[in-house]
A and B are shown apart, each in its own frame.
Chain A
Amino acid sequence: MGSVKNSLLVMLLLILLTGCSGMTDDLFPTGSDKRPSVQCGVTGPMVCQIGPDFTLTDTLGNSVTLSSVVTTTGVQGAVLYFTMWCPICDTHMSHMQTYVIPAYPNVRFFVVDYVSGSVADAQNAQLINGYAAAAFTVLVDTDQSVLNLYQATMGTTIVIDSAGVVHMNEDYKDGVRLQNVLAGLP
């Protein structure tokens, strides 16, 4: 009788626990598509929206404005990759530099450093991570304003076409999705 009571108590606790911190999402994962419907064509970070414009300084001290980059003649679009110089970020950036960037010469690639508080620190991080001669440009998001604009975090990869339309806003993963999206750019 006692063991039945204990078992019931355990089950009750487990049921209560599953309500904690959205834990059920991992305990009982679902593959249902829950992407919200978004209004296309308006300014926003989601796919089919117009990516919010911004100006950041790169690690060489140049000012970079997104709208100017993507509207430059011959440029097909831009990729933003958000880094915190972690092992996973390094893997992604290395993969992107080796396998993706050479295949899309008409796309501009930017790595957005949102953890270094200054251009000097970002430049230092770029150097010690071995990206001194990188095929991408490192932008310094000192106040995380662009991070917030695009609802990004570590590894978030954004693709924006020459009209400013967002085509991708998700984790880099293995880079396959990024390459598929770039291949389909207008």
Chain B
Amino acid sequence: MRTSIINIICAALFTGAALLSPPAAWAGSCCGGGGGTALMLPSFYQGMLDVSFDFEKYRGFWNQDGKVTPDPPGSDLRQYRMNLGYARRIAKRWQTSVVVPYVWNDNTYSGLSSQTEGIGDMTLNVWYEAVDDRSAWKIRNLKDMIPSVTIGASLLAPTGISPYDDVTSSFDITGRGFYRLDGNILVSKTVNPWSTSLSLSYGKYLERSVNREYGKYVEPYQKNLGDRTSASVSLSYVYYIGTGGDKLTGTGSFSYLREADTTYNGSRDANSGFRKESFGASLAYASTDHDWSTRISWSHAVRQDGWGDNFPITDIYTLGVSYGFR
């Protein structure tokens, strides 16, 4: 009970920090997953608040050879996340944002049940709108084909509960325990009612000392996680509802994620990297003034051999709402 209250206070403090400081982003979570949702301000908006709820259901994993392996019989593994995000424009072409997840782990096996919770890893972002989409309505010449280009950097901060904290079990984990610095680029082009985007990200973790594993002090060593590469392509269609300007946007996407091998004291562990490919679909509704928007999304990992390596197979369902300040 006491732990729960402390956790809630911590979450509240984090939310406060999120609202007062600049920054936004891509939430990280326990086992390399995370929402993967970018919080980015549309043009002409000065700020945005975003709250989303993720439900992640585990459906086995891909082993090292990419072969689908079921979870143990009688198991039901879930993770719930509430992501609080705030974005703020700091200059005409610059924006920052922060996303803080709060994580609930709910794991049931035939012989064990565990429910734990805690703050996840926080992400801070800064974005620069390098190139504007010159024409979102009609292509008249080659220049109208120029897409918008946004580049940015993210810092994943290890604010979650990691294996190196004072925990007793792997079930307690809500974060990875490492700082990571990402370089991001988002290219998108709209020709109403269609829109397409490509996002690329490359991240490097910062090596750290480890002197404790799951609450037990061990002989200190240096550990670093492998470089992370992610890419996503999407295609959207906007449907205007009636004549008032309300709009419904449907999006289909494909994402690729890869993390290279971990190193221990500089030596590579050849079996520790992972890969995941997934499809996504989302539906977003924005009101006439576009200040409010809501969305539902589904990220689906194909439960077939070869669509991932050494990584859990999950479906992620998200419900989110955001409000923009002009």
Contacts and interface: CB of A to CB of B under 8 A. Distances in A.
Interface of A: 6, 9-10, 13-14, 16-17, 20-23, 25-27, 29-36, 84-87, 90-91, 94-95, 114-118, 121, 124-125, 128-130, 142-144, 151, 153-156, 169-171, 173-174, 176
A171 B17 contact: no
Contact of B16 (A13, A84, A125, A142): A13
A29 B170 CA distance: 19
Contact of B74 (A14, A86, A117, A173): A117
Contact of A34 (B162, B165, B211): B211
Interface string B128-147: 00000000000000000000
A143 B110 CA distance: 11
Nearest to B172: A153
B176 to A, nearest CB: 9
A121 B72 contact: yes
B250 to A, nearest CB: 33
Contact of A87 (B13, B61, B222): B61
A173 B264 contact: yes
Interface of B: 6-7, 9-10, 13-14, 16-17, 20-21, 61-64, 67, 69-75, 109-112, 118-119, 157-166, 168-170, 175, 177-178, 208-220, 222, 262, 264, 267, 269-272, 274, 310-312
Contact of B13 (A16, A32, A154, A156): A16
Contacts, number: 178
Contacts of B218: 35, 170-171
What 8 A-B pairs come out closest when comparing CB atoms? Answer: A117-B111, A31-B209, A174-B269, A20-B10, A26-B158, A115-B109, A154-B170, A117-B110
B164 A21 contact: no
B213 A121 contact: no
B68 to A, nearest CB: 10
A10 B164 contact: no
A124 B69 CA distance: 12
A33 B220 contact: yes
Contacts of B17: 10, 13-14, 17
A10 B96 CA distance: 15
A144 B170 CA distance: 14
